[in-house]
Amino acid sequence: MVKTERVHVLKEGIKKPGPVVYWMSREQRVNENWAMLFALDLSVKLQQPLTVVFCLASNFPGATLRHYDFMLKGLEEVEAGLLKKNIPFYLLMGSPPETLADFIAEYGICHVVTDFDPLSIKRKWKGDLLTKTTASVYEIDAHNIVPCRIASQKCEFGAYTLRPKIKKRLHEFLDEYPMLAVQKNQGSFPLTKNDWISALQFPLSNPEIPPVEWMKPGEAAAKIALQTFLDQKLERYNEKRNDPNEDATSQLSPYLHFGHISAQRIALEIIKNLPGNPNTESFLEELIVRRELSDNFCFYNHQYDSFEGFPQWARKTLNEHRHDEREYLYGFDEFENARTHDPLWNAAQLEMVKSGKMHGYMRMYWAKKILEWTQSPEEAMDFSIRLNDRYQLDGRDPNGYVGCAWSIGGVHDRAWAERPVFGKIRFMNYKGCKRKFDVDKYTRKWLSKTNPLTLF
């Protein structure tokens, strides 16, 4: 049922009968989740009970109340959905390797299924777990339509090199999901409800950053957002997607980040809805090629969030311009509080702080100006990633690290005409934005939302 190309065996454990656990992490949904489907398949084949756990790490890098609130509400929906399938769901508090290893030992678990994630923190969690358990451990790529390890076995130069590799095999993997069956026997695992009130009792970094109100978390809300995009926006996507004054994009990135919906479901619906249409093509280019390119970069380049991870040509040109005079220089607080000389940049910062989601076009301008107005490209990466992860609902994601590295370090881009500070890194400026959209309208909207000195 689940293609073997999606399955990667992290550890062949001691062969003995015992329950199966799905350690849910990236794909926080019940349905249309290949890791969930694989875990139930395995438990039926072994005639062993299946349970699902989520390890809640209180110190996930960059995560604030805004993110934990969105994520935990989505997980509450997962619990309800799994109860209907007679599959117990436990929220384990504490750092995953230890809490999970204790759970495995306590219940004599013999098979651990988890979902693919290229980020360093997940590699570390899984690496630590392997040293603490004798159970078999399987990793399922339920995020990418063409599994990351299958699409390419190396770090790709850009979309133009990955695209043909994905297109060649897309038809094999872009198939319909089977329904998740009801578990016949959950064994000795009680179908209890978790204590969601106390789940958020741990000390949160930046508790002043409030949950977003305009976007509802969870699997059901993600499906509604997809339907809204299909019904009202897809046909204008090409024409309007780069205009930050228009609500013309899918707004699906937070749902994809937390796994409330799969890219595969989105692609299936888009193609069904508007086959062979240029809007469909350009949307799928972003959803499939660009998104899978981010996982490819983070998986094969462990320095995905730093200057050292930039391509050689970019490091060379940035080094050659390291000592160029900066016309403006700002510290982290000035950026965070939207206190630069540029009202357009300040407006983009406030859109992110206030709404939790900066428009895609503005993210490029926003990050490139941080390169222009900081002491060094290293500092630019540090500031942009910290701000992106702290305020973006879809932050802390391979797309974010690659987005910053593309903007500041030319990752997946080519060399452009040389200029101060940027060297040959692609340049963007206010004038370029003015040619693209009504800058005053966007600036007025977000600067009027609040006094920049009081973010909330």
**Site residues for ligand FAD per CB under 6 A:** 241, 249-253, 256-257, 286-287, 290-291, 294, 360, 363-364, 367, 388, 392, 394-395, 397, 399-400, 403-404, 406-407
The item of ligand FO1, ligand FAD, none sharing an interface with residue 77, based on CB under 5 to 8 Å by kind, is none
Place of tokens 């919906």: 261
Q: What's the closest the beta carbon of residue 52 comes to ligand FO1, in angstroms?
A: 12
Interatomic CA distance for residues 172 and 315, integer angstroms: 38
Nearer to ligand FO1, 56 or 318 (CB): 56
397 binds ligand FO1 (CB under 6 A): yes
Query: Binding string, 248-267, against ligand FO1, x = CB under 6 A?
Result: ---------xx---------
Which residue stretch of 54-62, 244-252, 304-312, 379-387 sits at the interface with ligand FO1 (rule: CB under 6 A)?
Answer: 54-62
The item of ligand FAD, ligand FO1, none sharing an interface with residue 250, based on CB under 5 to 8 Å by kind, is ligand FAD
Nearer to ligand FAD, 5 or 286 (CB): 286
The item of ligand FAD, ligand FO1, none sharing an interface with residue 290, based on CB under 5 to 8 Å by kind, is ligand FAD
Q: What's the closest the beta carbon of residue 350 comes to ligand FAD, in angstroms?
A: 16
Q: What's the closest the beta carbon of residue 2 comes to ligand FAD, in angstroms?
A: 23
56 binds ligand FO1 (CB under 6 A): yes
Q: What's the closest the beta carbon of residue 453 comes to ligand FAD, in angstroms?
A: 25
63 binds ligand FO1 (CB under 6 A): yes
Amino acid at 33: N
Q: How far is CA 272 from CA 16, 267, 367, in A?
A: 45, 8, 36
Place of tokens 């699409």: 151
Q: What's the closest the beta carbon of residue 280 comes to ligand FAD, in angstroms?
A: 12
User: Which among 36, 12, 287, 298 is positioned nearest to 149, based on CA atoms?
Assistant: 298
The item of ligand FAD, ligand FO1, none sharing an interface with residue 313, based on CB under 5 to 8 Å by kind, is none
Token pair belonging to 87:
């599959």
* 177-200: b (≥16 Cβ within 10 Å) or e: beebeebeebeebeeeebeeeebe
Residue 61: CB atoms within 10 A of its CB come to: 16
Nearer to ligand FAD, 183 or 392 (CB): 392
The item of ligand FAD, ligand FO1, none sharing an interface with residue 252, based on CB under 5 to 8 Å by kind, is ligand FAD
Of 2, 40, 57, 212, the one binding ligand FO1 (CB under 6 A) is 57
Which residue stretch of 53-61, 104-112, 187-195, 406-414 sits at the interface with ligand FO1 (rule: CB under 6 A)?
Answer: 53-61
Size of residue set near ligand FO1 by CB under 6 A:
15
Would you tell me which residues interact with ligand FO1 (CB under 6 A)?
25-26, 55-57, 60, 63, 67, 71, 117, 119, 257-258, 396-397
